[in-house]
Amino acid sequence: MSTARSIQPLNNYALGKWIAGEGNGQLLYNAITGDAIASASSKGLDFAAMCDYARTVGGPKLRKMTFPERGRMLKALALHLMEKKDLFYKISWATGATKADSWVDIEGGIGNLFSYASLRRTFPNETFCVEGDIAKLSKQNTFIGHHICVPKEGVAIHINAFNFPVWGMLEKVAVNWLAGVPAIVKPATITSFLTEAVAKEIIASGILPEGALQLICGSANGILDNVISSDVVTFTGSASTGKMLKSHPRLIEEAVPFTMEADSLNCCILGNDVTPDQPEFDIFIKEVVREITTKAGQKCTAVRRIIVPENRVEEVRLALGKRLASNIIGDPNVEGVRMGSLAGLTQLKEVKEKVEQLSKSQQIIIGDFEKFEVKGADKNKGAFMPPVIFLNENPFKNLDCHNIEAFGPVSTLMPYKTTEEAIALAKLGKGSLCSSIITADDKIAKEYVLGAASMHGRILILNRECAKESTGHGSPMPMLVHGGPGRAGGGEEMGGRRGVFHYLQRTAIQGSPTTLTNVTNQYQYGGKYIEKDIHPFQQYFEDLEIGETLITKTHTVTEQDILDFAELSGDKFYAHMDPNSLEGTPFKRTVAHGYFILSRAAGLFVDPPKGPVLLNYGLEECRFTKPVYPGMTIGVRFTCKEKIDQEKRNEEDVAKGIVKWVVDVYDCSSQEIRDKYEVDLTNGDTVAIATILTMVKKKNQNQ
DSSP state of 22: S
Residue 19: C-alpha distances to residues 5, 27, 140, 199 (Å)? 20, 17, 62, 13
pLDDT at 261: 87
Q: Collapsing DSSP states into helix, strand and coil, what is residue 12?
A: strand
pLDDT for residue 652: 82
Residue 81: enclosing H or E segment and its boundaries?
helix 67-83
**0.85 cut: is pTM over it?**
yes
CATH of domain 266-488: 3.40.309.10
Distance between CA atoms of residues 470 and 463, nearest Å? 10
The 3-state DSSP composition of the chain as helix, strand, coil percent (nearest 5) reads: 35, 25, 40
Write down the pLDDT at residue 485.
92
Fold agreement (46-261, 266-488): no
Q: Is 261 a catalytic residue?
A: yes
Q: Which of 300, 401, 434, 640 is catalytic?
A: 300
Are 492 and 259 within 8 A, CB to CB? Answer: yes
Tell me the C-alpha distance between 392 and 324, whole Å. 19
| Structure confidence at residue 4 (pLDDT) | 39
Per-residue pLDDT, 636: 95
Return the SS3 of 587: coil
- DSSP secondary structure letters along 629-675: -TT-EEEEEEEEEEEEE---SSTTSPPEEEEEEEEEEEE---HHHHH
User: Which superfamily does CATH assign the domain made up of 529-697 to?
Assistant: Hotdog Thioesterase (3.10.129.10)
What are the b/e assignments for 114-143, b being 16+ CB within 10 Å? Answer: bbbbebbeebbbbbbbbeeebeeeeeeeeb
Give the residue extent of every domain in the chain.
46-261, 266-488, 529-697
CATH topology assigned to domain 46-261: Aldehyde Dehydrogenase; Chain A, domain 1 (3.40.605)
Taking the mean position of all CA atoms in its chain, how far away is CA 299? 18
Confirm whether 651 is a catalytic residue: no
Say what the pLDDT of residue 676 is: 67
533, 536, 538, 543: CA torsion to nearest 10: 90
Instruction: Say which DSSP state 132 is in.
Output: E
Q: What is the dihedral of CA 386, 194, 101, 237, to 10 degrees?
A: 70
Where are the alpha helices (H) located in 186-272, listed in sequence order?
Answer: 192-205, 239-246, 249-254
What is the spatial distance between Cα 382 and Cα 401, in angstroms, rounded to a whole number? Answer: 27
Residues forming beta bridges with residue 694, ordered by sequence position: 616, 659
Say how many CA atoms lie within 13 Å of 543 toward its Cβ: 15
Which of the following is catalytic: 107, 126, 261, 291? Answer: 261
pLDDT along the chain (703 residues), means of 10: 61 93 85 90 93 96 95 96 94 91 92 94 91 88 93 96 91 96 95 95 96 94 93 89 89 92 92 95 95 91 95 94 91 90 90 94 92 89 93 95 93 96 95 94 95 94 92 88 89 90 95 94 90 92 94 94 94 90 88 94 92 89 91 94 86 88 89 66 80 91 73
Q: How far is 604 from 638, CA to CA, in rounded Å? A: 10
